[in-house]
Amino acid sequence: MLFPDYRPRRLRQNAAFRRMVRETVLSADDLILPLFAIGGSNVQNPIPSMPGQYQLSVDNLVKTAKEAFDLGIPAVMLFGLPDKKDAFGTRAHARDGIVQKAVKAVKNKLPEMVVITDVCLCQYTDHGHCGIVTNGIIENDATLDLLAKIAISHAKAGADMVAPSDMMDGRITAIREALDESQLENTPIMSYAAKYCSAYYGPFREAAHSAPQFGDRRTYQMDPANSREAIREATMDVEEGADIIMVKPALPYLDILARLRDEIDLPLAAYNVSGEYAMIKAAEKMGWIDGRKVMMETLTSIKRAGADMILTYFAIEAAKVLKERTF
Ligand code: PBG
Ligand code: ZN
């Protein structure tokens, strides 16, 4: 079908035609808002490299969660900044830990909102690594018990879903078994399965005080050069009992997302990470791009590549645009 018989512009000539043939439609249902919980009350500390994002005390975090829920966003992902750190990240599984408190408060006020918790050690360890460190080595198997303990404590506090982001081998099996043994067999696991060792996490580490104090995360997070390995990681997590598979970051890894969409039949999540957010905000501030349009184009591209859900700091802003139907 060649020109002049086929004229692609025919179906682009007005807004109604364009709406009718649009293949990908972003909805607030697709969005998950990440939030940072910190102690105290009425705290709202701006995160300099993430304009519009804050470290929030539990009272304020609940307000932001409500704003998101009222805009049709079904879920939040909680990160915690603990009062103290130690070598084993003890505060990560404390009954009165910051995430545990935040979960309870959100579920109390918004029982229908899905509360997902990030399960990891890096915010809670004094060395900032996602696992136990012995003689400078990040230990795999010794970390698994701790991750399972954290997941259980989150679920017991009321978390609807747990999301391990540590990248230790075998963690899905460890967490699934531990949840099941605690009669938490209905708590799903969203696995950060293809999590790359990315410089795009920079602003997050400032926000969450989770930068490694020595070395880097290359011995556990994936090499950005690898694609086939993502299939192995994801397949392994599916077999170990993951319910949702995540790719992270999103934009520089859309090929991975598209590839996993073909290979894996579980729901896929993509994490539009802090550096992706910061770049758009910075260029917008410079007056170099239309931030609102780039935000919507970016989120649409992530969905088009295969994501069923998108974790994004833009969630509230994007949901407002969708509600106003101004996009
Ligand atoms: C920690 C964690 C990180 C992010 C989510 N969980 C950073 C890291 O691995 O250092 C990054 C999120 C973002 O950049 O928005 N396990
Ligand atoms: Zn971590």
66 is catalytic: no
66 located within any domain: yes
Catalytic residue among 149, 195, 281, 303: 195
CB of 60 sitting under 6 A from ligand 1: no
**Which tens digits make up the pLDDT trace of 284-321?**
999 999 999 999 999 999 999 999 999 999 999 999 99
CB of 276 sitting under 6 A from ligand 1: no
Pocket test for ligand 1, best of 210, 213, 246, 248 (most atoms within 8 A of CB): 210
- Which structure tokens are listed for 315? 């969630």
62 located within any domain: yes
Please give the angle made by the CA atoms of 114, 116 and 121, to the nearest 5 degrees.
Answer: 165
b/e string for 199-235 if b means 16 or more Cβ within 10 A?
ebbebbbbbbebebeeeebeebbbeeeeeeebbebbe
164 located within any domain: yes
pLDDT band per the 50, 70, 90 thresholds, residue 36: very high
User: What CATH number does the domain containing 312 carry?
Assistant: 3.20.20.70
192 located within any domain: yes
218 located within any domain: yes
> Which residues partner with 134 through β-bridges?
137
pTM: 0.98
**Which tens digits make up the pLDDT trace of 182-212?**
999 999 999 999 999 999 999 999 999 999 9
14 located within any domain: no
3-state secondary structure of 325: coil
248 is catalytic: yes
Q: Whose CA is nearest to atom 7 of ligand 1?
A: 201
Pocket test for ligand 1, best of 138, 165, 190, 310 (most atoms within 8 A of CB): 165
The sign of the torsion formed by the CA atoms of 71, 276, 188, 64 equals negative
7 located within any domain: no
- Please state the domain count of the chain: 1
**Which tens digits make up the pLDDT trace of 84-130?**
999 999 999 999 999 999 999 999 999 999 999 999 999 999 999 99
19 located within any domain: no
Catalytic residue among 85, 101, 107, 248: 248
User: pLDDT over 70 for what percent of the chain?
Assistant: 99
CB of 36 sitting under 6 A from ligand 1: no
pLDDT for residue 326: 67
Pocket test for ligand 1, best of 36, 200, 273, 311 (most atoms within 8 A of CB): 273
Residues 6+ apart with CB under 8 A from 182: 152, 155, 156
CA–CA separation, 249 and 276 (whole Å): 8
For the cut 70, the answer to whether the pLDDT of residue 327 exceeds it is no
CA–CA separation, 124 and 130 (whole Å): 9
Checking phi first, is residue 59 left (phi over 0); if not, alpha (psi -120 to 50) or beta? alpha
CA–CA separation, 11 and 13 (whole Å): 6
- Which structure tokens are listed for 239? 């077999």
> In terms of residue numbers, what domain contains 250?
28-324
Q: Whose CA is nearest to atom 11 of ligand 1?
A: 201
Q: How far is the CA of 135 from the centre of ligand 2 (A)?
A: 19
